[in-house]
Amino acid sequence: MTHTNLNDRADSLPTASEFGRVLVLMGGRSAEREVSLNSGQAVVKALQKAAVDYVVVDPKDGIEEMVSTAFDRAFIALHGRGGEDGTIQGTLELMNRPYTGSGVLASALAMDKLRSKRLWQSLGLATPKYCSLNSASDWQQVMDEMQGPVMVKPSHEGSSIGMCRADNPVELEQAWSKASQYDSDVFAEQWIDGNEYTVAILSGQALPVIGLETQRAFYDYDAKYIANDTRYLLPSGLSNEQEMAAQQLASKAFSSLGCDGWGRADLMTSGDGQMWLLEVNTVPGMTDHSLVPMAAAAAGFDFNELVLRILATTLSEQSGQSGVQQSDV
């Protein structure tokens, strides 16, 4: 990961002409299509304010329009499969066009929650224990092994889509059935009874930690995009020492996957103060409910500047977009 002090760059953002023509990719065909459209529209408004030339493409019907469009660099606002899993990144690599966010391998790996967890475990980074599920699973045995409630997750979805808590074998089978509608890879994760936090990362620097509070069982889709009673804590409520530990853990998780440019790591703390990695998002939401813009505001720059900072990463050499990155872990 290339580390840059964001404060040093405050007065040195590129001019609109330096960006050339920007392709904004939004929409797509994933279960997060609506969120992506909202993110893309917000990015477009920021580019308009900055007088940056842009063109919008929604690749829901394929890549033909993107391939036939003239552009200098791409701002990827696609969430979920087809936009966050390395496929669109691979196409842009073949077109020799720089793009925002992580490269092909890192995008694919971060999109796969199960394999991310396996990598973190191999590196000694704390992540809740898990068990893969399928139609032949012994539901009672899984609950016994996990020793308590579990969170059931599709491995390749974002925005908490398809996720559900299970407290007993019957609920576990029902949760698996729901999650398997979105993904053939489904797993049960140890339920962590504690507080949830998120850490945005931009140009190698961790932004202020955000604490999340919701009246729901967990920070689900409604809590993220619809509800008005979700609480976002800035400051996070952590001590200075804990905040630094959260930022360091998030940065290690991010770099261990080979991620680059910008993104967000989600984690939880249990009652004993232990921090647990949940997942890394390589194309986080950019809506009015989104977390990275909140963290950016706490760091001292508004949404429009955030968009330009993210886009500016495409002007410099992106080691994560040309091969496998050396881990900082």
Name the catalytic one among 40, 103, 225, 260: 225
DSSP annotation string for 37-76: HHHHHHHHHHHHHTT--EEEE-GGG-SHHHHHS--SEEEE
> How do 130-133 and 186-190 pair as beta strands?
antiparallel
Name the catalytic one among 264, 290, 309, 320: 264
DSSP annotation string for 102-118: --HHHHHHHH-HHHHHH
Asked if residue 182 lies in contact with residue 125, where contact means CB atoms within 8 angstroms, the answer is no
Residue that has been written with the tokens 């945005």 in this structure:
200
> What DSSP character marks residue 249?
H
- 165 part of the active site: no
- 183 part of the active site: no
Name the catalytic one among 107, 159, 203, 251: 159
- 266 part of the active site: yes
CA angle 120, 124, 126 (to 5 degrees): 70
Name the catalytic one among 82, 204, 263, 285: 285
Integer Cα distance of 262 and 42 in angstroms:
17
Name the catalytic one among 83, 279, 290, 309: 279
- 279 part of the active site: yes
Name the catalytic one among 185, 189, 260, 266: 266
Name the catalytic one among 27, 28, 30, 32: 32
- 285 part of the active site: yes
CB atoms within 10 A of CB 279: 18
Burial group, residue 119, by CB count within 10 angstroms (0-12, 13-18, 19+):
buried
Name the catalytic one among 155, 160, 281, 290: 281
- 197 part of the active site: no
As annotated, the active-site residues are 32, 159, 225, 264, 266, 279, 281, 285
